[in-house]
Structure 1
Amino acid sequence: MSRRGLLRTLGTGAATTLAAACGVPAAYVAPSDRSRSDLSATDKRLTWANWPLYIDTDDEDESRRPTLDAFEKRTGIEVTYTEEINDNDEFFGKVSPSLMNHQETGRDLMVISDWMCARFVRLGWVQEMDRSRQPNVTRYLDPQLRSPAFDPGRGYTVPWQSGITGIAYNRRTVGREIRHVSDLWADDLKGRVTLLSGLDEAFALLMQGNGVDITKWTADDFHTVCEQVEKLVRTDHIRRFTGNDYIKDLSSGDVLACQAYSGDVIQLQADDPDIEFVVPEEGAELWSESLMIPNLARHKANAETLVDYYYEPSVAAELAAWVNYVCPVPAAQDILASAKDEETAALAEDPLIFPDTAMRKRLAIARDITAKERTEFAKRWNAIAGL
């Protein structure tokens, strides 16, 4: 099972949690109230919250995490690593009471999806990182990920891993190439197409199919997509809306084409080379899940040191070889290419880990949904998707 597949299984209460999370009143925290005395110099430890299956593990001992073990040995910083993030909204609901009430969360570092990072940044719930402690981030961060609209210059967030939302299909059973979003609506695919159920996961690719620049999409663009999808639902063209269970549908042949994540498809291709991942001609969404330091974290400098460690190309390469998402450190490609193991070296040529120039031209980071837009848009989309 992929990491995203597991987190969807674990996060079955997300809809309930979302309602609870949205009920938490927003409480902006001014910059002067975000920090507390840093204990890093004398207290060599930190606590890091991440998603399941999102770091390298030892093949013979899954309790060992080679890159993290090496960091602890090198720096003397003890890391308490927790795989507690199963859903963005669920985690928001878990930490928001502390953050809005100017209390410590008990975490020094956390990884959440950029659309949720945008909410934390807007609320002033995370601290700006000190780039003087992060020369690797400054030097090696992928230029295409350096300045999203919600965090220009990436002062508050640093991508952990990235990925692409595109189209997956079985080339053998479809019998032709899929190159455009509109190809999903061909008559012979009726009833055998799925879309992602989450608003933030689904909307950008569908807009791109309409020729929209997703870096500056409008409410009209959103409602146009909704009207199109509503019609496809009424005519039974769309089989259903999914989390990561599209993986099972695509593998079994129940679904011929679907909206999908690049990292999942790499794993599917190991078992079925006929499964293809497509970045449509109109483009696809490039997204990230990013590291942030929450307000009042007591080991900020230690956390900044760890973030920078994972931007060393050799470390980023080791991580990329295990998680198989888009690596935010392009310089890691040469490290993998020089690997003695042929299977590892082949990863350097995989455009779903290191997108080539042609693919990059079709990738864009969508502007996030604003707080004002979210209630209205989520209500309409969730009604369509049956959430």
Structure 2
Amino acid sequence: MALNPPSASRRSLLRALGGTAALGALAGCGVPAAYVRPGDRAADDASARDMRLTWANWPLYIDTDDEHPGRRPTLDAFRERTGIAVDYVEEINDNDEFFGKISPALMGHRPTGRDLIVISDWMCARFVRLGWVQEMDRARQPNVARYLDPLLRSPAFDPGRTYTVPWQSGITGIAYDRRRLGRELRTVSDLWADDLRGRVTLLSGLDEAFALLMLGNGVDITRWTPDDFHRVCDQVETQVRRGQIRRFTGNDYTKDLVSGDVLACQAYSGDVIQLRADNPDIEFVVPEEGAELWSESLMVPDLARHKANAERLVDHYYQPEVAAELAAWVNYVCTVPAARDVLAASPDEDTAALAEDPLIFPDASMRRRLAIARDITAEERAGFTKRWNAIAGL
């Protein structure tokens, strides 16, 4: 099983109010045609007579064969086992962009041409609210029912994961260069220390940034309030004025951290695994107050023609052996804790070591400090985004 760097574009950012305002209008401002009732979401399922499906995913988000990059071992194994051909399309580079690509069909009650899609959970929430995805049949997914990580089983936007199944997960926490800084960071408030002035970055995307900062205030992010949000904004505005924050970033925060221009930053766990391969002095911290656990999830859009085939594919990836092979390649938090034992038993020393990496398999202490944030509602989004973007300079 090969180790390769994850894509830097998966955790997309909300860069402008325009995209989020459109989402808010659809989900919360009463556009009747946008919502699809449960009885209107399914098409005649051709799965039994047409053994194929189309799957849209992000670039570099699946295992590949080192010697034959066009091959995807875990996906090839599914084809061989089931006879189902998979048209795997790496077309998702940004949540908003992909929303714009397929929303006209979904609003018009037309097929999207895709049987399975992977988007970030904060965007999944909008699809679920709009009725744009179908309930999955767990009778076809015994592995999901058995092996899905309990921490990921019931986010606020989809209790019981009725419509979504996590593909990969990750943690938003703090990264820092311990050698350059000369000390440890333990809490969110440590970012505001005087010796870090001008050497801190925060994530620019609202959905990516807010939860960790709220946790620093002791907020239960599964049920945060608008007051909690505005308190965070007040605090960040203060830190901007005093010159604490060097800039707000997308995934390019990694360049600042590697160069030493930044000593501490909001960061994603999967990125730090890759950075540490070249610089073991870079640390990732789940603060004492906690950190946000997030996912990018699989969904079956309305009127998909191969729903049963898609559900079988999702369940294939919840076999511990398959999940282990995928985790060894993408290096994000594995959604199948049972895959840890599979990796630990590997005769390859580097592969077996992944089983002990808490950024792939969080230990008990870390798990107690992880939570899935309540998503921003449609009614909240436009106003919240306007305020946050003004602070972040978007």
The TM-score range, normalised by the shorter chain, is over 0.9
State the 1:21 CA deviation: 4.4
Helix, strand or coil for the counterpart of 1:281?
Answer: coil
The one of 278, 284, 291 aligned to 1:284: 291
State yes or no: 1:310 paired with 2:317.
yes
Moved over 6 A (4+): none
- Aligned-partner Cα distance in 1 for 2:268–2:258: 14
- Aligned-partner Cα distance in 1 for 2:18–2:374: 24
Aligned position for 1:174: 181
- Aligned-partner Cα distance in 2 for 1:171–1:23: 41
Aligned position for 2:31: none
- Aligned-partner Cα distance in 2 for 1:381–1:83: 31
Q: 1:80 to 1:169 in 2, by over 3 A?
A: same
- Aligned-partner Cα distance in 2 for 1:17–1:136: 40
Q: 1:23 to 1:374 in 2, by over 3 A?
A: closer
The one of 315, 333, 343 aligned to 1:326: 333
The one of 230, 237, 240 aligned to 1:233: 240
- Aligned-partner Cα distance in 1 for 2:226–2:207: 14
- Aligned-partner Cα distance in 2 for 1:278–1:142: 21
State the 1:84 CA deviation: 0.7
- Aligned-partner Cα distance in 1 for 2:10–2:152: 24
> Which one is further off, 99-108 or 25-34?
25-34
Helix, strand or coil for the counterpart of 1:162?
Answer: strand
> Which one is further off, 11-20 or 252-261?
11-20
Letter of the aligned partner of 2:373 in structure 1?
Answer: A
Helix, strand or coil for the counterpart of 2:8?
Answer: helix
State the 1:22 CA deviation: 3.5
The one of 263, 268, 292 aligned to 2:275: 268
Task: Give per-residue Cα distances to partners, 1:119-151, cap 9 Å, x unaligned.
Answer: 000100000000000000000000110011111
Letter of the aligned partner of 1:351 in structure 2?
Answer: P
Letter of the aligned partner of 2:127 in structure 1?
Answer: F
* Preserved CA contact (<8 Å) 2:20 2:382: no
The one of 345, 365, 379 aligned to 1:358: 365
Q: 1:376 to 1:2 in 2, by over 3 A?
A: farther
State the 1:236 CA deviation: 1.2
State the 1:100 CA deviation: 1.0
Aligned position for 2:152: 145
Aligned position for 1:77: 84
State yes or no: 1:5 paired with 2:12.
no
TM-score by length of 1: 0.97
- Structure 2, unmatched stretches of 5+, are 28-33
Task: Give per-residue Cα distances to partners, 1:242-281, cap 9 Å, x unaligned.
Answer: 0000011101111100000000000000000000000000
* Preserved CA contact (<8 Å) 2:14 2:205: no
State the 1:25 CA deviation: 3.7
Task: Give per-residue Cα distances to partners, 1:60-96, cap 9 Å, x unaligned.
Answer: 1211111001111111111001111111111111111
- Structure 1, unmatched stretches of 5+, are none
Q: 1:20 to 1:60 in 2, by over 3 A?
A: farther
Aligned residue-pair number: 385
Aligned position for 1:18: 19
State the 1:15 CA deviation: 3.5
* Preserved CA contact (<8 Å) 2:119 2:298: yes
What are the equivalent positions in structure 2 for 1:197-236 lying under 5 Å apart? 197-236=204-243
Relative contact order, CA 8 A, sep 6+: which one is greater?
2
TM-score by length of 2: 0.95
Identity over aligned residues, as a percent? 78
Letter of the aligned partner of 1:361 in structure 2?
Answer: R
Letter of the aligned partner of 1:358 in structure 2?
Answer: S
Q: 1:294 to 1:216 in 2, by over 3 A?
A: same
Aligned position for 1:103: 110
Task: Give per-residue Cα distances to partners, 1:209-261, cap 9 Å, x unaligned.
Answer: 01111011000000000011011111111000000000111011111000000
Task: Give per-residue Cα distances to partners, 1:286-316, cap 9 Å, x unaligned.
Answer: 0010000000000000000000000000000
- Aligned-partner Cα distance in 2 for 1:229–1:16: 19
Aligned position for 2:119: 112
The one of 352, 369, 377 aligned to 1:370: 377
Helix, strand or coil for the counterpart of 1:216?
Answer: coil
* Preserved CA contact (<8 Å) 1:20 1:93: no
Aligned position for 1:190: 197
Q: How large is the Cα RMSD of the aligned pairs?
A: 1.6
The one of 346, 350, 357 aligned to 1:339: 346
Q: 1:368 to 1:7 in 2, by over 3 A?
A: closer
- Aligned-partner Cα distance in 2 for 1:2–1:301: 32
